[in-house]
């Protein structure tokens, strides 16, 4: 079968798979789950059955941003859409009536390089269904990467999946070939994982490879990695498929960011897939996914800890308010931050101030005091969200209370 026909069939289920720094969709409102109809891709990523608008999208090509900020045209695909695992939510689960396709490593590498040389793509995100076990499947992924790097001399961006049950040496080899690695945990712990994927083992098959990556990064010189540095790592959770709480998800997320140095955690709101054991399970509200993303960024970029967040009795975040804003209302409303004296880590706690804005403020105040809102606006800093929580030269900026929650 023609390779591009295979890519097109696979791309139907890869169109919205989280990859690289393509952002989650900010600004989601509390629409009912029925208003959104994403499905779930091979390892839990969301996908929406829709008419692909361009030929590039039809082949699984996505405009993304690689770590570091450079734009990239990324081919996202699988070595095989066949799988021997029986994950209850997955359209590629064993036994489901679905047309499968398989690439051999040489075929995949050649197909990608043909597209790369034609200027269509400059990066590859490569995953796979599992056939003959995770170790065998990982070998095929590694073979593809070796062919790309050594035979074809490809030096561009490569994101490789680590298969459940991969061995330590396979993980280490992947670290010498790829710019980014990912292991999809899918659930926050073993108990919840059994509800989604009963043949997977949370600690041994999924979390252990992430521990190996962290250990290798800490104990071996980075120049052994591709381009002289070790790859970044990411993971993904299915949200709402296993009755897990936000507290469970975020406990694991905080550990991953702070202990294993993961670059990003993706959250995918569950939506049922026909002809799977979970086809009658209710879809999750996408706003919950949005709040989880916001909180994960608080761990990664803003220095927040789990204990600082407000959960309800069921261990979930409030959907009606941004978690950073909720913290500020409790902690900064009566104790505003003086912009001219606050340390960078204090500025980061203020709604509307991110890492770049905090650095801009620190640099600007070396030249003189910031006395009013216009001083900040002239620096390119939006002030609307921060005004209730700051002082400028000892004075509060004027602001109006919002008519509704943000």
pLDDT at 51 over 50: no
H or E stretch including 78? strand 71-78
pLDDT single digits (tens) 245-258: 999 999 999 999 99
Q: Which residue has the tokens 């569950």?
A: 270
Please classify residue 305 by burial: count the beta carbons closer than 10 Å to its beta carbon, then call 0-12 exposed, 13-18 middle and 19+ buried: exposed
Q: How confident is the model at residue 400 (pLDDT cuts 50, 70, 90)?
A: low
CATH placement of domain 3-308: 3.20.20.70
By the 10 Å C-beta count (0-12 exposed, 13-18 middle, 19+ buried), 201 is classed as: middle
* Surface-to-core class of residue 5, CB atoms within 10 Å of its CB (0-12 exposed, 13-18 middle, 19+ buried): exposed
Angle between helices 105-117 and 3-11 (to 10 degrees): 90
130 vs 66, higher pLDDT:
130
Helices (H) and strands (E) in the chain, counts: 13, 11
The strand ranges marked E within 223-366 are 232-239, 264-269, 337-338
Q: Would you give the distance in Å from CA 381 to the centre of its chain? A: 27
Contact between residue 292 and residue 270 where contact means Cβ atoms under 8 Å apart? no
Alpha carbon distances (Å) from 53 to 48, 57, 248, 285, 343:
13, 7, 38, 26, 47
Asked if residue 32 has pLDDT above 80, the reply is no
Q: How far apart are CA 151 and CA 147, in angstroms?
A: 5
Say how many C-beta atoms besides its own lie within 10 A of residue 71's C-beta. Answer: 13
Q: Which pLDDT band holds residue 47 (cuts at 50, 70, 90)?
A: very low
Using DSSP's 3-state secondary structure scheme, residue 290 falls into helix
All CATH 3.20.20.70 domain ranges in the chain, comma separated = 3-308
What dotted CATH number matches 323-391?
Answer: 1.10.150
Q: Kindly report the pTM of this predicted structure.
A: 0.87
Sequence ranges of the chain with CATH classification 1.10.150: 323-391
Please say if the pLDDT value at position 61 is more than 80.
yes
269 C-beta neighbours (distance < 10 Å), count:
23
pLDDT in tens, 280-300: 999 999 999 999 999 999 999
């Amino acid at each position: 079968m023609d390779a591009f026909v295979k890519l097109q069939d696979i791309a139907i289920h890869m169109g919205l798979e989280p990859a690289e720094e393509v952002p989650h969709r900010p600004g989601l409102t509390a629409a009912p789950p029925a208003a959104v109809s994403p499905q779930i891709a091979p390892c839990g990523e969301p996908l929406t059955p829709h008419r692909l608008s361009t030929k590039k999208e039809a082949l699984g090509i996505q405009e993304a941003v690689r770590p570091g900020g450079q734009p990239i045209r990324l081919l996202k695909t699988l070595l095989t859409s066949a799988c021997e695992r029986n994950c209850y939510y997955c359209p590629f689960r064993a036994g489901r009536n679905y047309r499968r396709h398989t690439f051999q490593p040489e075929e995949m590498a050649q197909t990608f390089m043909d597209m790369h040389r034609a200027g269509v793509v400059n990066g590859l995100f490569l995953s796979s269904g599992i056939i003959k076990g995770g170790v065998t499947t990982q070998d095929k992924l590694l073979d593809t990467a070796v062919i790309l790097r050594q035979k074809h001399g490809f030096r561009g961006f490569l994101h490789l999946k680590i298969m459940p049950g991969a061995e330590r040496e396979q993980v280490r080899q992947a670290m010498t070939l790829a710019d980014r690695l990912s292991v999809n945990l899918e659930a926050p712990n073993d108990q919840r994982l059994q509800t989604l994927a009963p043949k997977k083992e949370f600690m041994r098959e999924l979390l252990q490879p992430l521990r190996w990556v962290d250990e290798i990064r800490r104990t071996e010189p980075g120049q052994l990695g591709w381009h002289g540095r070790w790859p970044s790592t990411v993971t993904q959770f299915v949200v709402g498929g296993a009755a897990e709480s936000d507290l469970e998800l975020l406990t694991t997320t905080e550990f991953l960011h702070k202990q294993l140095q993961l670059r990003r955690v993706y959250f995918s709101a569950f939506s049922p897939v026909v002809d799977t054991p979970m086809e009658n399970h209710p879809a999750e509200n996408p706003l919950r996914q949005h709040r989880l993303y916001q909180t994960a960024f608080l761990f990664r970029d803003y220095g927040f800890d789990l204990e600082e967040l407000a959960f309800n009795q069921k261990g979930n975040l409030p959907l009606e308010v941004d978690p950073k804003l909720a913290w500020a209302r409790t902690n900064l409303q009566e104790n505003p931050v003086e912009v001219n004296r606050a340390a960078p880590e204090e500025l980061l706690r203020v709604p509307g101030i991110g890492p770049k804005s905090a650095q801009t403020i620190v640099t600007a105040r070396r030249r003189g005091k910031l006395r009013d809102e216009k001083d900040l606006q002239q620096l390119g800093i939006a002030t609307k969200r921060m005004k209730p929580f700051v002082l400028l030269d000892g004075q509060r900026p004027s602001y109006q209370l919002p008519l509704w929650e943000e």
